[in-house]
């Protein structure tokens, strides 16, 4: 098992470079502000180091997500990738050689849990000790399920990541939910990368949690 998970270079500066095993990260911000891109970059960063990658997609097809990964890292190793597609799309071209589980809808948390268990076992059988987990996006789950149900699911998932020494990144559209919902869900994660858009249209980020003081708002690019 890795002593740390390298996410250096994803964010400007050195706010997040290496994170210990068991760490869970929430990327929170308005819709269409770049949260998915950051999540994908954090997951793809370990592919060249032999990490496994297990991603649950709730809105975008698995094939589209895979294309995003390969744009970031042309040498992407598909043998260490597991995808759970609950988007309901039928775009399956180009991923036949990738381990993929299909779930009927984002509201089927049992199906998602079974899929993650299958793919986790597949990694273990192949000797992949370090696994990076992702879920894009929690907001889609909340369109199908109440906050309490989603919170319980996230609690179980993050506990499994912690106990297995993995790493996980989740996304949330914080402008789609009331503040109480956002606060409730945010508290389940070790830290948050929070994004916002300025009046000029630029995107800024800050890092909260991880046992440190919040960082300043900093331009993302």
pLDDT over threshold 90, residue 175: yes
The closest of 69, 100, 72 to 86, measured between CA atoms, is 100
How does 14-48 read in b/e, with b if 16+ C-beta sit within 10 Å? ebbeebebbbbbbbbbeeebbbbebbbbbbbbbbe
Indicate the helix (H) or strand (E) that contains 84: strand 81-85
Q: Is residue 93 over pLDDT 80?
A: no
- Residue ranges of domains in the chain: 35-178
- Give the number of other CB atoms < 10 A from CB of residue 12: 11
- Give the C-alpha separation, 92 to 63, whole Å: 6
The tokens for 92 are 């399956």
Residue-level pLDDT at 70: 87
Q: Smallest Cα–Cα separation from 59: which of 32, 41, 25, 99?
A: 32
| pLDDT value at residue 76 | 82
Confidence of residue 198 (pLDDT cuts 50, 70, 90): very high
Architecture of domain 35-178: 3-Layer(aba) Sandwich (3.40)
- pLDDT at residue 172 above 80? yes
Q: Strand 52-57 vs strand 81-85: parallel, antiparallel, or unpaired? A: parallel
pLDDT digits (tens, 9 = 90+) for 133-158: 999 999 999 999 999 999 999 999 99
Q: What is the pLDDT of residues 102-134, one digit of tens each?
A: 999 999 999 999 999 999 999 999 999 999 999
Mean pLDDT of the chain: 93
CA 172 and chain centroid, separation: 10
Looking at residue 108, what is its pLDDT?
98
Q: What confidence score (pLDDT) does residue 177 get? A: 96
Kindly indicate the confidence band of residue 88, based on its pLDDT and cuts at 50, 70 and 90: confident
Q: How large is the average pLDDT for residues 84-103? A: 83
> What tens digit of pLDDT does each residue of 49-73 get?
899 999 999 999 998 998 899 898 8
pLDDT band of 75, cuts 50, 70, 90: confident
Looking at the predicted structure, is the pLDDT value of residue 91 above 80?
Answer: no
- Does position 37 have pLDDT exceeding 90, yes or no? yes
User: Cβ distance 120 to 41 under 8 Å?
Assistant: no
Kindly tell me if the per-residue pLDDT of 97 is higher than 80. no
CA distances (Å), origin 153, targets 7, 107, 129: 25, 11, 23
Per-residue pLDDT, 219: 95
> What pLDDT score was predicted for residue 94?
61
Taking the C-alpha atoms of 74, 76, 82 and 83 in order, what is their torsion angle to the nearest 10 degrees?
Answer: 0
Q: What is the pLDDT of residue 207?
A: 97
Q: Is-cis flag, bond preceding 137, omega within 30? A: yes
Helix (H) / strand (E) element for 131: namely: strand 131-136
- Residue 2 has a pLDDT of 64
Closest C-alpha to 46, from 13, 93, 10? 10
């Amino acid at each position: 098992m890795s002593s740390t998970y390298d996410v250096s270079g994803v964010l400007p500066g050195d706010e997040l470079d290496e994170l210990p095993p068991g760490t869970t990260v929430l990327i929170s911000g308005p819709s269409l502000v770049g949260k998915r891109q950051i999540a994908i970059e954090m997951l793809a960063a370990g592919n060249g180091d032999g990490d496994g990658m297990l991603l649950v997609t709730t809105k975008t097809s698995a094939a589209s997500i895979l294309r995003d990964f390969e744009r970031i890292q042309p040498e992407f190793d598909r043998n260490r990738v597991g995808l759970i597609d609950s988007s309901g799309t039928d775009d399956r071209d180009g991923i036949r050689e990738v381990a993929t589980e299909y779930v009927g809808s984002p509201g089927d948390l049992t199906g998602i849990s079974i899929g993650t268990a299958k793919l986790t076992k597949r990694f273990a059988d192949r000797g992949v000790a370090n696994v990076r987990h992702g879920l894009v996006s929690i907001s889609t789950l909340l369109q199908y399920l109440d906050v309490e149900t989603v919170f319980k699911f996230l609690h179980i998932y993050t506990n499994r990541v912690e106990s297995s020494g993995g790493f996980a990144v989740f996304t949330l559209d914080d402008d789609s939910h009331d503040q109480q919902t956002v606060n409730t869900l945010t508290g389940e994660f070790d830290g948050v990368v929070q994004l916002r858009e300025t009046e000029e249209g630029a995107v800024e980020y800050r890092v909260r949690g991880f046992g440190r003081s919040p960082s300043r708002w900093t331009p993302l690019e």
